[in-house]
Amino acid sequence: MSAHWFSIIRPINLILLAIGMYALDVCVLQPNFTTYGILFSLNELQFFLLVLSVVCICAGGYLINDYYDVQTDMINKPDKVFIGESKLSPASVYRVYMILTGIGFALGVYLSLAVEFWRLIALYVLAIALLFFYATTFKRIALIGNIIVALLAALSMLMVLVFEPHLYQLARPGDYYIAEICNRFILTMAAFAFTTTMVREVIKDLEDVQGDRQSGAKTLPVRYGYGVSKLVIWIFVLATIGALVYMLTNILDQHQLVYVLYTGILFMCMIIIGVWTYIAQSPQQFHRLSTLVKVTMGLGLGILPIYYLIAF
């Protein structure tokens, strides 16, 4: 039974999410703030609570998504359906969803008041609402569901920025320089999260097209076919490459060979994804392609410790 809970909340995804937020803090914000004498709004415990709040809401999102997606998953991946029959009861899944979402929201309220910017509570309300309506409605509408998931992935990175008011409520003229470096880094990583998530979401729709068609979902492949779906993937593959080029030329020191080599690896990953997208036809091929995208997303986070080791 515990293994079913472990599977349904996607622990690998949650770990990557937490690593991404901590990597931005440890590798970008902390060394720059310490070097230039900028004080943090959140202490270490509060930053942990920020990460925990995002992880709880994201885990709740996975639960409510599977709660409403049992019939489709029974067609696409029956061996990975953990709700119903002798497995997890729908009532218990919904109850845990409410608990996790409630914890995440409560922490968000506390942290918003801690940084004296209560309007940030609206971000939590928006994220919770989007996750719920994605599971119930939007995921069955072409592109809308994909965009929502990608926006939420980007928002997880942006939370590091918005909960550090010293990055946009600047107290000293000299803070503008370092704030710009940090903001560019976070915004570019958020853009990378958005574009790669869009690529993966459309690939997953191609993988699940049979079940989506039978359940009446109007996803991009169901409504417009494989050709248009693959074109959308290529557009976001190019957008990802554009984000990497921007990072190399505007944030990192392009004269450092390690930066060039590492971004080159990411370029090659995205090119391979584009080529495999053209070739792939079967659900199994799209599943392998989806896994490659996830690996590339994880590799993208590797640029943060490299930046820390070289710059500091």
pLDDT reported for residue 107: 97
User: Tokens 């999260």 label which residue?
Assistant: 193
Which residues are 122's β-sheet partners?
A: none
Q: Are 163 and 54 in contact (CB under 8 A)?
A: no
| Interval 181-229: pLDDT, tens | 899 999 999 999 999 999 999 999 999 888 878 877 788 999 999 999 9
pLDDT reported for residue 79: 65
List all residues 6 or more positions away from 293 whose beta carbon is below 8 Å from its beta carbon. 196, 199, 200, 203, 273
Domain ranges of the chain: 2-311
pLDDT reported for residue 82: 67
pTM, to two decimals = 0.92
Residues of the chain with pLDDT under 70: 1-4, 73-74, 76-82, 84-86, 170-171, 173-174
Residue 295 to residue 288: CA distance in whole angstroms: 11
Q: Tokens for 291?
A: 């896994």
Q: Where are the beta strands (DSSP E) in 100-256?
A: none
Residue 242 to residue 247: CA distance in whole angstroms: 9
User: Long-range contacts: 12-15, Cβ < 8 Å, 24+?
Assistant: 13/58, 13/62, 14/55, 14/58, 14/59
Residue 149 to residue 13: CA distance in whole angstroms: 13
Which residues are 218's β-sheet partners?
A: 141
Residue 241 to residue 268: CA distance in whole angstroms: 9
